Structure 1
Amino acid sequence: MIVMGLLFSSSAFAQEAAGIPADEASVAAGQELFDGNCASCHNVHQDMIGPALKNVYERRDVKWLQNFIKNPSKVKDSGDAYAVALFEKWAPTVMPAQQLSNDEIVQVLAYVKHSTENPPVAKTAEATETAGSAPAAAGVDSNLLLVVIGVLVVLLVIVLVVLVALASVLSNYLKQQKGLTAEDADYVNQRFDLGAVLKSQAFIGFVSFVFVILVAKALLDGVMGIGVQQGYAPDQPIKFSHKLHAGYYEIDCQYCHTGVEKSKNANIPSANICMNCHSQVRTDSEEIQKIYAAIENDQPIQWVRIHNLPDLSYFNHSQHVKVGGVECETCHGDIKEMEVVQQHSMLTMGWCIDCHRQTDVNAKGNAYYDRIVELHNSNTKAPMKVEDIGGLECAKCHY
């Protein structure tokens, strides 16, 4: 499903955008169709694999667009000058015919028209810094132990210096006094014995305490790190750049990961999805040839899984993405800037629980939550969090 292989910037054949609806339902339906059929090759505001679609409804009338989208080659072969020019400009990319009805194409145009009239607002610096941020991991920070040890050592050194200084001052004062007994004189004039200090119970106790703390930190780091793969970025059989595809070309995540809104798993894209574009784009690339080889040999591409949860944990993508409205970047980080994808978040139990404690329930417009929201608001004015609807119950994730 690639998409509408449309148009140059402006044209002398501009048409009035008559018959294109502007209601919210049509725009929403058009966006879904656009994301599923067009977004891999087209963007409204900038060129991608195919041309930008901004104001496309003003360059050709709706009837022409419907005919072209459903069978672009037929329109070109009829001798239509505009279609011929499009094919020549974007060669060797060829747009395939789309299995869309006239009504669905009008809905797509409704979305394009809405996006044209409401261009995206540039992100502020603050928004850029916070985009894709995930809840802080709950639990004990093992580095805190090092800080505690450091503070204790500094305090002990300060106390030791003060005591040595006091002892020195007091010793000098006593040496100047007359009438000291022989025993007192010997005590005052005794020399500092480092060996005796190292063998003293106080020094041995202090060293033992530091040793125990360091061992405890090492053990805590080991225990807390079991199963945590944050930063894991394995080599893949084919070098695939998310920064190029999701970032520069703005291909929607759901175009490749088709199950994210309707399945427990987001699923790894098949070679057929890759070929929707790469049957025409960069066919001579060494990496693309690996896709051809997989298809010819009837073998799946052996992608290496990056985000792994233990078998005892249950996680449902559709529940979080479709119902909860959680953005991909919340858990996966700024994918659009990753040449090589890595595990961005800790994905630990504490990390998930902390998210459930902080995240508001997306109850707006969902009648399922009406009674629950009513009961919640009768007891508190605080926003309803996921934990308030059972998000911390063990059986939600472990059953």
Structure 2
Amino acid sequence: MNSNRLRSLPHLLLAILLTLAGAQQATAQDASASTATVSKAGVTPGATAGATPATAVAPAAGGADAAAIQAGDALFKANCTQCHAINEQVVGPALGGISKRRPITWIIPWIKNSSKLIASGDEYAIAINNKFQKQQMPSFGLSDKEIISIVAYITSQEGQPAAAVAGGVTVQNAGSTDGKASDASADGAGAGKYVDILLIALVVVLIVMVVTLIIIGNLMKDVLRGRKDLDGRDNEILEQRFDWGKFYRSPVLRGIVGVVFALVLLYEGVQSVMAVGLTQGYQPTQPIAFSHKLHAGTNQINCVYCHTSVYKGKSANIPSANICMNCHSQIKTESPEIKKIYRAIERKQPVQWVRIHNLPDLAYFNHSQHTQVAGLQCQTCHGPIQNMEVVYQYSALTMGWCINCHRESPLNTKGNAYYDNLVKLHDTKNAGAPFTVSSNGGTECSKCHY
């Protein structure tokens, strides 16, 4: 037999394996394309904390335009849904028909400062306060225009099913721990499930074919060993074995292994030194089992309702016990965890929450500058907070992490004359490059260390 035929056998097996691998990859790409098509057709990622799926704004009611109703929709979800629903009573009264029960001249001062209106002796305000066990409503820093837009939104939603109106904390959903996925998400999950099954089947088929080819190769060798027309070269190829001992004793291999081992030790040592003081992933046990997944995720309570200084303070404050009691004076009052809040109030002691996100004293950081001015969302730094049962430090919070963000984040300069000359100078020297925080001096040492 010609020895070239023996030499070509491994190449034939390799070609078959590469063909099968290419077919598997093409199938996976087709499945990914199908999933992308489903996504474009309506499957969207989950909503973030404090955000709700877009709902169709009802036609303008009571003379209010659609823009006012849309603005009222956002304000209502951010400030009111924690205690109120439109068509059902929860912590506070149902708000449907409020514009018919009271004039706007009464509603505005009530929302701005309900305690002041009660103290003035207003009979309706006193009756509402007594009916709901004198539960004080927080004072909101809303303008008259914003309050009017909220009332317009409430009016537009009156009489609609509860599912169509943005839901907040209710007696019915207060005990839930997980939100239900939408039908579109379920369809997407089903499509992904079938893709996984198909890929598993292809892998199994590939393994079976590889084993079959190995068996066929061994059978062919056995047949060839019985041939008498093979010359010495053919027999040498047929009986050749890989010398693992020689390979292991090779000085080249030992040198490579030694260098790799030394590099790994050096890398781990440098990483250990660089990680001193870093607490990424830190997840302490809190004195009260508070679930952000339940409050910010399932019940969609806006972050600013509890962390009231998130848009106006140097740091985002830890909520006081009275904010918790706005809801839990009537919801889950028998819960062992809620009773811990009652005890803290009775003893006039704050809840001893464990701080998670810490920055060194040598670094200056202003929370409101990033949320109010830069417009960053909570998830940018804190990760998927709406999915966390127990909060942990999501980001590294290192100097390099901050600098990279400043280098990559474009600065919104539209409508601000302060930046006009700076943008012109930047575009002159850096044509085509975006005007980032770093372009405005955001990576200078004195910005954070002074």
TM-score range, shorter chain: 0.5 to 0.7
Q: What CA deviation, in whole Å up to 9, does each residue of 1:159-209 have, x standing for no partner? A: xxxxxxxxxxxxx87xx9xxxxxxxxxxxxxxx895x98676445423321
User: Which of 380, 384, 391 lines up with 2:435 in the alignment?
Assistant: 384
User: Which of 32, 41, 50 lines up with 2:83 in the alignment?
Assistant: 41
Shift of 1:236: 0.2
Give the secondary-structure state (helix, strand or coil) at the position aligned to 1:214: helix
C-alpha distance 273-326 of structure 1, shift in aligned 2 (>3 A) = same
Of stretches 325-334 and 291-300 in structure 1, the one that deviates more from structure 2 is: 291-300
* CA–CA distance in structure 2, aligned partners of residues 93 and 298 of structure 1: 21
C-alpha distance 273-240 of structure 1, shift in aligned 2 (>3 A) = same
1:313 aligns with 2:355: no
Structure 2 letter corresponding to 1:40: Q
* CA–CA distance in structure 2, aligned partners of residues 109 and 337 of structure 1: 34
For 2:275, the equivalent position in structure 1 comes to 225
C-alpha distance 45-262 of structure 1, shift in aligned 2 (>3 A) = farther
Of stretches 105-114 and 326-335 in structure 1, the one that deviates more from structure 2 is: 105-114
For 2:449, the equivalent position in structure 1 comes to 398
Structure 2 letter corresponding to 1:75: Y
Q: Does the 8 A contact of 1:41 with 1:251 survive in 2?
A: no
C-alpha distance 230-52 of structure 1, shift in aligned 2 (>3 A) = farther
* CA–CA distance in structure 2, aligned partners of residues 221 and 199 of structure 1: 33
Write out aligned runs for 1:309-348 (5 A): 309-348=359-398
Shift of 1:33: 9.4
Write out aligned runs for 1:159-308 (5 A): 194=245, 201-308=251-358
* CA–CA distance in structure 1, aligned partners of residues 184 and 427 of structure 2: 35
Write out aligned runs for 1:90-129 (5 A): 96=136, 104=143, 107-113=146-152
* CA–CA distance in structure 2, aligned partners of residues 393 and 124 of structure 1: 49
C-alpha distance 238-42 of structure 1, shift in aligned 2 (>3 A) = same
User: Which of 99, 104, 125 lines up with 1:62 in the alignment?
Assistant: 104
* CA–CA distance in structure 2, aligned partners of residues 47 and 346 of structure 1: 43
1:75 aligns with 2:127: no
* CA–CA distance in structure 1, aligned partners of residues 299 and 91 of structure 2: 8
Structure 2 letter corresponding to 1:393: E
Give the secondary-structure state (helix, strand or coil) at the position aligned to 2:271: helix
Q: Does the 8 A contact of 2:310 with 2:317 survive in 1?
A: yes
* CA–CA distance in structure 1, aligned partners of residues 445 and 436 of structure 2: 17
* CA–CA distance in structure 2, aligned partners of residues 364 and 193 of structure 1: 68
Alignment length (residue pairs): 311
Structure 2 letter corresponding to 1:96: Q
Of stretches 255-264 and 41-50 in structure 1, the one that deviates more from structure 2 is: 41-50
Q: What CA deviation, in whole Å up to 9, does each residue of 1:304-353 have, x standing for no partner? A: 11112233322210111111111111111122222211112222222222
1:360 aligns with 2:403: no
* CA–CA distance in structure 2, aligned partners of residues 68 and 363 of structure 1: 38
Of stretches 59-68 and 325-334 in structure 1, the one that deviates more from structure 2 is: 59-68
* CA–CA distance in structure 2, aligned partners of residues 272 and 308 of structure 1: 25
* CA–CA distance in structure 1, aligned partners of residues 368 and 311 of structure 2: 4
Q: What CA deviation, in whole Å up to 9, does each residue of 1:118-163 have, x standing for no partner? A: 989x99999xx9xxxxxxxxxxxxxxxxxxxxxxxxxxxxxxxxxx
Give the secondary-structure state (helix, strand or coil) at the position aligned to 2:404: helix
* CA–CA distance in structure 2, aligned partners of residues 239 and 52 of structure 1: 30
Structure 1, unaligned stretches of length 5 or more? Answer: 1-15, 130-171, 177-191
C-alpha distance 48-352 of structure 1, shift in aligned 2 (>3 A) = farther
Q: Does the 8 A contact of 1:54 with 1:116 survive in 2?
A: yes
* CA–CA distance in structure 2, aligned partners of residues 217 and 97 of structure 1: 57
Give the secondary-structure state (helix, strand or coil) at the position aligned to 1:247: helix
Percent sequence identity over matched residues? 46
* CA–CA distance in structure 1, aligned partners of residues 184 and 439 of structure 2: 33
C-alpha distance 315-251 of structure 1, shift in aligned 2 (>3 A) = same
Structure 2, unaligned stretches of length 5 or more? Answer: 1-60, 158-164, 167-180, 189-231, 237-242
Q: What CA deviation, in whole Å up to 9, does each residue of 1:199-228 have, x standing for no partner? A: 764454233213212212322432343333
Q: Does the 8 A contact of 1:68 with 1:75 survive in 2?
A: no
For 1:10, the equivalent position in structure 2 comes to none
* CA–CA distance in structure 2, aligned partners of residues 100 and 354 of structure 1: 37
C-alpha distance 44-252 of structure 1, shift in aligned 2 (>3 A) = farther
* CA–CA distance in structure 2, aligned partners of residues 378 and 193 of structure 1: 64
RMSD over aligned Cα atoms: 4.6
Structure 2 letter corresponding to 1:283: T
* CA–CA distance in structure 2, aligned partners of residues 108 and 382 of structure 1: 42
Structure 2 letter corresponding to 1:254: V
